[in-house]
């Protein structure tokens, strides 16, 4: 059986940075060549970044992607890397955008993969299964491919597939079995969700059985707006055995030697398959010599605890949002509470303390222990700590306007927001807002007050998970002999906005241990009132919570973007009308 040395390049591209992404491909191909690789694979749309969204409709961008692919093939050859077979994802088109007046039936933009060799584009493949759920709108952008591309590489037939092709039974993987391939390369832009890695391996194993072939699964890492990609690239044998697996949330070169069955079908043969896909065959010329000596294995990375996984996802999502958008630093309000403490710790982990500004914004209702907790967090993390008392500014408003009750509470929050935005304007920081998913769900925030900001690292994190993350981060620091970043007082004290005397979140909301399961069922699980009550929740509490969620849609629509970690994040995932009279009966 031929042995193929495979390199999966788990890299972090940036949307729209064609030159930078091409340089990334060249750099990592060089590393793969140095490791003796023969076949190198990069993630879905690695050349353009993913997802490109409505850039698909710009003909200039499509043309630039196509030109960048041709230039990349030539540059790899000029780099002395032309003998390697390199699979890279990119944006292609075989006709005008489907939204254009000159659109042609069956032609348009394509989510594509190309195999590059010796300065040429040897073969292309167009993604067949287009996801149109959750964060995906690929039916809006692309047309599905109707062929399976099979490339003869070092005597082995290799099928090219893209992301969603793996998640659907039939189609390319069923066609790959009929085509007699030895390996299926699946390039991915698969966004992170908690526990998705537990689903992915069994799925790859099912597709290996369906194709009767080994699978090389390569996924990107990095943050792109609300999405974060965790990598988790892997190689699975035709028998379903996990042969190699890359770590999550870091760039990584996974190199693995695969013994694969020799190709049997003639290179030029084409056959119509039962699944309706044409098999298009091509071949590459001579590759670098087959590996000799002991087999190279890519290693197996053990999974980590849920809290560690989520923390790394949030750190990566925040770091890339800040760096890819070229913000020099971030600023946030430090109240001494758990939410701002977790966001501050995330920011320091993501950017370093010298790029994080924490501002204490005390009012007459701010407790002494909260001020001390904020200062203690700053001391532990080393961030730039400042104090800007808000009471004189609040008093100026109250001296000129007749305000009372919750209006005064909201005024305090809005004065804080004005101060943070002023520091942002003056010094160039990105303002981080700190509202968790539970608060966003029920509208427990002040519009243009504590909701103000350009990015929210914990937007998709339930309050109960906030506490778990804080405890995990402190325990992880202690395990490594470091100072835990979050004061125990911030973790242990009852949550409060401290906008009026003795105020607690529980004055307005059910306890979070009661609230979060209802919200998870309603928001993430789409359960109605009856389903929630049948699950054991108190009907009166359910009615109160659902009313709060339904009437807060206008606030959520104006909230800052934030990293998605759940199966249904506010914004891209959960899309409900603001003007909406439908209510669950209760």
Residues labelled catalytic: 44, 127, 163
Contact of 329 with 351, CB cutoff 8 Å: yes
Helix (H, G, I), strand (E, B) or coil at 44: coil
Distance CA 191, CA 318 (A): 15
302 Cβ contact list (under 8 Å, min separation 6): none
348 Rama sector, left if φ>0, alpha if ψ -120 to 50, beta otherwise:
alpha
**Dihedrals phi, psi of 130, to nearest 5 degrees:** -110, 115
Distance CA 201, CA 289 (A): 31
The strand pair at 120-126 and 109-117 is best described as antiparallel
Contact of 313 with 282, CB cutoff 8 Å: no
Helix H or strand E encompassing 73: helix 59-78
Contact of 552 with 526, CB cutoff 8 Å: no
Distance CA 187, CA 165 (A): 10
Helix (H, G, I), strand (E, B) or coil at 405: coil
- Give me the half-sphere count of Cα atoms (radius 13 Å) on the Cβ side of residue 307: 14
Nearest to 487 by CA among 273, 279, 325, 336: 336
Contact of 72 with 22, CB cutoff 8 Å: yes
Listing DSSP states for 208-220 in one string gives HHHHTSEEEEEE-
Own/partner pairs for 370-376, CB < 8 Å, 24+ apart? Answer: 370/335, 370/336, 370/337, 370/498, 371/336, 372/336, 372/489, 373/336, 373/337, 373/341, 373/487, 373/489, 373/490, 374/334, 374/335, 374/336, 374/340, 376/487, 376/489
Distance CA 61, CA 170 (A): 32
Residue 567 structure tokens = 């199966």
Contact of 158 with 185, CB cutoff 8 Å: yes
Kindly list the distances between the CA atom of residue 272 and the CA atoms of 66, 178, 269, 442, 566, in Å, as whole numbers in the listed order.
Answer: 28, 10, 10, 54, 40
Distance CA 521, CA 540 (A): 16
Let me know if 358 is exposed, middle or buried by CB neighbors in 10 A (0-12, 13-18, 19+): buried
Residue 411 structure tokens = 């005024």
Distance CA 314, CA 350 (A): 9
Helix (H, G, I), strand (E, B) or coil at 400: helix
CA torsion sign for 251, 253, 258, 264 is positive
């Amino acid at each position: 059986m031929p042995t193929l040395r495979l390199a999966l390049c788990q890299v972090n591209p940036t949307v729209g940075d064609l030159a930078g992404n091409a340089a990334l491909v060249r750099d990592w191909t060089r590393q793969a060549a140095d490791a003796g690789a023969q076949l190198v694979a990069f993630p879905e749309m690695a050349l353009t970044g993913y997802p490109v969204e409505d850039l698909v409709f710009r003909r200039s961008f499509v043309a630039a992607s196509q030109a960048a692919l041709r230039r990349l093939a030539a540059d790899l050859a000029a780099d002395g890397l032309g003998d390697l077979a390199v699979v890279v994802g990119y944006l292609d088109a075989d006709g005008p955008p489907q939204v254009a007046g000159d659109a042609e039936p069956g032609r348009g933009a394509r989510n594509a993969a190309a195999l590059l060799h010796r300065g040429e584009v040897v073969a292309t493949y167009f993604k067949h299964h287009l996801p149109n759920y959750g964060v995906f709108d690929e039916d809006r952008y692309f047309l599905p491919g109707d062929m399976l591309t099979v490339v003869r590489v070092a005597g082995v037939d290799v099928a090219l597939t893209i992301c969603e092709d793996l998640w659907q039974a039939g189609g390319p993987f069923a066609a790959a079995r009929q085509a007699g391939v030895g390996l299926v390369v699946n390039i991915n832009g698969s966004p992170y969700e908690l526990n998705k890695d537990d689903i992915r391996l069994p799925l790859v194993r099912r597709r290996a059985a369906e194709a009767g072939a080994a699978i090389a699964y390569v996924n990107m890492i990095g943050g792109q707006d609300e999405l974060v990609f965790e990598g988790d690239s892997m190689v699975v044998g035709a028998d379903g055995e996990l042969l190699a697996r890359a770590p999550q949330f870091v760039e990584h070169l996974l190199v693995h030697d695969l013994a694969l069955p020799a190709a049997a079908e003639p290179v030029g043969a084409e056959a119509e398959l039962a699944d309706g896909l044409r098999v298009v065959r091509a071949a590459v010329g001579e590759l670098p010599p087959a590996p000799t000596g002991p087999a190279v294995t890519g290693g197996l990375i053990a999974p980590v605890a849920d809290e560690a996984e989520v923390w790394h996802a949030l750190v990566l999502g925040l770091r890339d949002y800040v760096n890819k958008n070229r913000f020099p630093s971030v600023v946030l309000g430090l109240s001494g509470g758990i939410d701002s403490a977790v966001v501050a710790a995330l920011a320091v982990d993501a950017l370093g303390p010298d790029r994080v500004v924490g501002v204490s914004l005390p009012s007459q209702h701010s407790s002494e222990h909260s001020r001390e907790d904020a200062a203690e967090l700053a001391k532990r993390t080393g961030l730039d700590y400042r104090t800007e008392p808000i009471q004189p500014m609040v008093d100026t408003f109250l001296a000129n306007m007749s305000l009372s009750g919750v209006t005064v509470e909201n005024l305090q929050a809005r004065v804080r927001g004005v101060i943070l935005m002023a520091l942002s304007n003056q010094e160039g920081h990105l303002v981080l807002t700190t509202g968790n998913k539970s608060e966003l769900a029920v509208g427990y925030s002040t519009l243009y007050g504590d909701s103000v900001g350009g990015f929210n690292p914990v937007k998709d994190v339930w309050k109960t998970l906030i506490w778990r993350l804080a405890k995990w981060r402190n325990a992880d620091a202690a395990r490594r002999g470091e100072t835990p970043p979050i004061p125990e007082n911030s973790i242990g004290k009852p949550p409060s906005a401290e906008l009026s005397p003795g105020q607690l979140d529980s004055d307005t909301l059910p306890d979070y241990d009661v609230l979060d399961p209802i919200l998870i069922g309603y928001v993430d699980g789409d359960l109605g009132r009856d389903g929630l009550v049948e699950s054991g929740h108190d009907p009166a509490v359910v009615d109160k919570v659902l009313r709060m969620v339904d009437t807060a849609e206008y606030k959520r629509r104006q909230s800052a973007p934030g990293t998605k970690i759940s199966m249904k994040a506010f914004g891209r995932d959960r899309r409900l009308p603001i003007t909406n009279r439908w209510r669950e009966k209760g």
